[in-house]
């Protein structure tokens, strides 16, 4: 399906309503009533063998009896009748269907069977289906309601604007639409995708991205139909500067699949979604109120150049509240300086404050120019990115101030945000003036500052010019070690790969029999560490499979025997490849880890954090979708709670952070060019030595997708 197909869906010239009812208050009667009430300019064909006519329109026994072409069929019949109805739609050459019917996959196997059969019929005949279990859609631009949602029944019509909204839930989606309309927010399309038999939320978002009138896209999602499609949409949205706002439910704390490595157990599905959202500039909200608040501020399309906030209020307490919120949301509230401060000191009473927050005092009740002149001065201030005004003024004075703020907002590119507190009776008229002009206005300090934080975040994302590219060519498998024997690479094989990637590892040798120790181990520098190598024993310490501080050949032989014995006792049927002897690290450093998780929806994720034995206890981690560049690697490390340890604390030297971030990029590049065949990777610990000394990977595990290996290799 391409987006041109969906344009045909939302701009029908003829609509058939199959299962239409004479009861215009019923589910099957409302779609017809809504089309009549909005004066749909195309042809409407009710279909129901029980009636000859409905509301003066000829009613047909079957869609096959309709004389003209049918662009869109609205179907309100039981699930059991749908297969036969679909057959008739196919014969009539209908390519767009909106299914109101319920009783499909959501009710069990029988319903799922019907849904699967209908979906197959649609696919084979190039039919686009929205639903089932949908309450409908609206083409707001042309006032074409296609459904029975309560919000479609507005006697005032629909406010057209620049917001597109798609929701898996009909009740929630059209609640957002109705509430937003009350706040004078205008829309282009509102779509409820329901069970998503065909068209998904993401398909609809792609269509809206290409629509020149849709400049903001909101979505309610219970699941992500296709993770990579969402990333593609987010990248396109950045290029077009069309904010994506997603309210997602169905959160789960952790994925259920068994994980062999530490890393794979750290990133749950909801956490992964939030990582993707942050990395690709998607605005995530917690409820419908926050969604509407964000729609209001971003639909104005006045982006910020930074996070420096100037606040103006007629109340000292309000100024303090805004200052507290700035700190909470990491917004900068800096004292005014220079000419701007002098101008404002001359405007406000001497007992006010021109610092920031700016307190214009209650004197503004008598002299309304105090607020507006102050705002105009801030609009010219190069050190102010966002202006926030908080006022409690009501009545005619409040309305006059709001009208003046609208005039200022029209001529300024800098975002101006207003908080008007008080009852609707006292302050409602002023608030309405702002809303009708598109000036973002809120009732509380918290709501205001939260919306501003979202605006600042998305503006910063749009201001980034870089595009992340991998330095390796896709499908370049030159780094792959071809000595496959299993899809699980234990420490010995993993370290060979790390060495090829340019990541330092200790000098080591693999020993399979005690007779090899005299010849091969003596070339290493004592003291040594010995570790069991077995795909069946991944946590070696628990199995007694690690020996430290080996000082000579005799101790090496003794360690070899003890490790094999302990491993056998730990797991009788474990296949042991041998014992890895390697030089012990004689330098101090900070233990970190680097890991890979292959997410079923979004592909490969890079994870880093404090390593060693603390990885699962502290869970101090940072995650990014692959590929990343050096700048992203640096941001990963800086957001860790343990970052100060790398900078050096209590007299310790600074760690070689650059070498660690280089390793993150190397791993990212390698994994990216494997096209999803690498399932897990765990490099733990990676000791980050003092600055200039590099890093050392002391252990490693790699798990490949079994499907990527020939059967003959695995056997």
pLDDT score of 218 more than 90: yes
Q: Is 253 exposed, middle or buried (0-12, 13-18, 19+ CB in 10 A)?
A: exposed
Counting residues of the chain whose pLDDT is more than 70, the rounded percentage is 92
Contacts by 172-176 with C-beta closer than 8 Å and gap 24+? 172/220, 172/288, 173/220, 174/135, 174/149, 174/150, 175/151, 175/288, 176/218, 176/220, 176/288, 176/291, 176/292
Mean pLDDT value across residues 365-384: 89
Model pLDDT, residue 406: 95
Token pair in block for residue 414: 């800098």
Mean pLDDT value across residues 693-700: 96
> For residues 619 and 611, is the Cβ–Cβ distance under 8 A?
no
Q: What are the respective helix, strand and coil percentages of the chain, to the nearest 5?
A: 40, 20, 40
pLDDT score of 710 more than 60: no
Alpha-carbon distance of 292 to 282, in angstroms, equals 15
Alpha-carbon distance of 225 to 318, in angstroms, equals 44
Model pLDDT, residue 709: 54
pLDDT score of 619 more than 90: no
Alpha-carbon distance of 446 to 266, in angstroms, equals 32
CA nearest neighbour of 528 among 580, 578, 583, 588: 583
Q: Is 337 exposed, middle or buried (0-12, 13-18, 19+ CB in 10 A)?
A: exposed
Model pLDDT, residue 350: 87
pLDDT tens track for 639-654: 999 999 999 877 789 9
In 301-352, alpha helices (H): 316-328, 338-347
Handedness of CA 520, 525, 531, 535 (dihedral sign): negative
Mean pLDDT value across residues 78-86: 90
Mean pLDDT value across residues 340-346: 93
Least confident among 9-13, 162-166, 260-264, 704-708? 260-264
**What DSSP state is assigned to residue 29?**
T
Query: How does residue 43 score in pLDDT terms, banded at 50, 70 and 90?
Result: very high
CA nearest neighbour of 696 among 560, 507, 519, 525: 507
Average pLDDT of every residue of the chain: 89
Mean pLDDT value across residues 108-115: 81
What are the residues facing 388 on neighbouring strands? 311, 417
> For residues 575 and 203, is the Cβ–Cβ distance under 8 A?
no
Model pLDDT, residue 635: 95
pLDDT score of 474 more than 50: no
pLDDT score of 365 more than 90: no
Alpha-carbon distance of 313 to 430, in angstroms, equals 16
DSSP symbols for 679-700: EEEEEEEEEE-BTTS-EEE---
Mean pLDDT value across residues 600-626: 86
* Stretch (H or E) spanning 145: strand 144-147
CA distance readout (Å), 210 to 136, 164, 419, 599 = 21, 11, 34, 28
Mean pLDDT value across residues 231-260: 78
Q: Is 183 exposed, middle or buried (0-12, 13-18, 19+ CB in 10 A)?
A: middle
Mean pLDDT value across residues 618-632: 91
Task: For each of the domains in the chain, give its residue range(s) and CATH number, in order of start.
Answer: 3-297 (3.40.50.720), 303-463 (3.40.50.261), 507-583 (3.30.1490.20), 590-714 (3.30.470.20)
Token pair in block for residue 208: 């809206």
Query: How does residue 614 score in pLDDT terms, banded at 50, 70 and 90?
Result: low
pLDDT score of 492 more than 70: yes
Counting residues of the chain whose pLDDT is more than 90, the rounded percentage is 70
Model pLDDT, residue 471: 45
Query: How does residue 613 score in pLDDT terms, banded at 50, 70 and 90?
Result: low
């Amino acid at each position: 399906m391409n987006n041109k197909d969906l344009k045909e869906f939302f701009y029908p010239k003829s609509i058939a309503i199959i299962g239409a009812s004479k009861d215009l208050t019923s589910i099957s009667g409302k779609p017809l009533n809504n089309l009549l009430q909005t004066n749909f300019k195309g042809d409407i064909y009710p279909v129901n063998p029980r009636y000859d006519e409905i509301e003066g329109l000829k009613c047909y026994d079957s869609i096959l009896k309709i004389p003209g072409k049918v662009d869109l069929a609205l179907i309100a019949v039981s699930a059991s009748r749908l297969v036969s109805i679909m057959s008739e739609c196919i014969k009539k050459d209908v390519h767009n269907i909106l299914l109101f019917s319920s009783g499909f996959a959501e009710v069990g196997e029988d319903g799922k069977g019907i849904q699967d059969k209908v979906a197959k019929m649609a696919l084979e005949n190039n039919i686009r289906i929205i639903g089932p279990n949908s309450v409908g859609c609206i083409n707001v631009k042309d006032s074409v309601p296609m459904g029975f949602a309560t919000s479609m029944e507005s006697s005032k019509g629909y406010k057209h604007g620049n917001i597109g909204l798609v929701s898996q839930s009909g009740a929630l989606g059209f609640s957002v639409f109705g509430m937003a309309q009350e706040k004078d927010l205008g829309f282009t399309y509102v779509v409820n995708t329901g069970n998503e038999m065909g068209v998904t939320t993401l398909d609809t978002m792609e269509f809206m991205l290409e629509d020149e009138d849709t400049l903001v896209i909101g979505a309610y999602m219970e699941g992500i139909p296709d993770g990579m499609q969402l990333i593609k949409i987010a990248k396109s949205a950045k290029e077009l500067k069309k904010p994506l706002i997603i309210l997602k439910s169905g959160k789960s704390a952790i994925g259920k699949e068994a994980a062999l490595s530490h890393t794979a157990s750290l990133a749950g599905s909801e956490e992964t979604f939030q990582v993707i959202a942050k990395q690709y500039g998607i605005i995530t909200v917690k409820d419908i109120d926050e969604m509407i608040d964000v729609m209001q501020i971003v639909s104005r399309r006045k982006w910020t150049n930074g996070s420096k906030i100037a606040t103006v209020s007629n109340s000292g307490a309000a100024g303090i509240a805004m200052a507290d919120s700035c700190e909470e949301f990491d917004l900068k509230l800096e004292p005014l300086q220079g000419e701007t401060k002098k101008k404002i000191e001359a405007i406000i009473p001497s007992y006010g404050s021109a610092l920031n927050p700016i307190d214009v005092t209650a004197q503004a009740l008598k002299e309304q120019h105090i607020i507006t002149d102050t705002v105009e001065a801030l609009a010219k201030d190069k050190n102010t990115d966002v202006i926030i005004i908080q006022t409690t003024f009501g009545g005619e004075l409040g309305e006059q101030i709001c009208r003046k703020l609208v005039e200022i907002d029209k001529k300024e590119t800098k975002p101006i945000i207003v908080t008007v507190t008080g009852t609707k009776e006292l302050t409602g008229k002023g608030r309405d003036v702002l809303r009708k002009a598109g000036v973002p206005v809120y009732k509380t300090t918290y709501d205001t500052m939260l919306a501003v934080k979202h605006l600042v975040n998305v503006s910063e994302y749009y201001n980034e010019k870089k595009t992340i590219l991998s330095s390796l060519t896709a499908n370049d498998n030159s780094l792959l070690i071809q000595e496959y024997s299993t899809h699980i690479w234990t420490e010995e094989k993993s370290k060979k790969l790390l060495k090829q990637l340019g990541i330092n590892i200790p000098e080591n040798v693999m020993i399979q029999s005690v007779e090899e120790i005299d010849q091969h181990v003596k070339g290493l520098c004592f003291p040594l560490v010995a570790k069991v190598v077995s795909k069946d024993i991944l946590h070696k310490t628990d199995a007694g499979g690690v020996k430290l501080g080996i000082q000579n050949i005799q101790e090496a032989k003794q360690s070899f025997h003890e490790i094999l014995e302990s491993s056998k006792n730990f797991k009788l049927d474990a296949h042991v490849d041998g014992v890895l002897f390697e030089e012990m690290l004689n330098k101090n450093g900070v233990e970190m880890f680097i890991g890979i998780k292959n997410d079923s929806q979004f592909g490969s994720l890079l994870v880093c954090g404090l390593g060693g034995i603390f990885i699962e206890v502290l869970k101090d981690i940072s995650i990014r979708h692959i590929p990343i560049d050096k700048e992203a690697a640096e941001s990963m490390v800086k957001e860790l709670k343990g970052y100060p340890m790398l900078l050096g604390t209590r007299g310790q030297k600074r760690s070689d952070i650059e070498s660690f971030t280089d390793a993150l990029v190397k791993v990212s590049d390698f994994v990216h060019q494997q096209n999803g065949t690498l399932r897990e990777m765990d490099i733990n610990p990676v000791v980050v030595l003092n600055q200039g000394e590099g890093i050392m990977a002391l252990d490693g595990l790699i798990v490949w997708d079994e499907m990527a290996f020939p059967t003959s290799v695995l056997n």
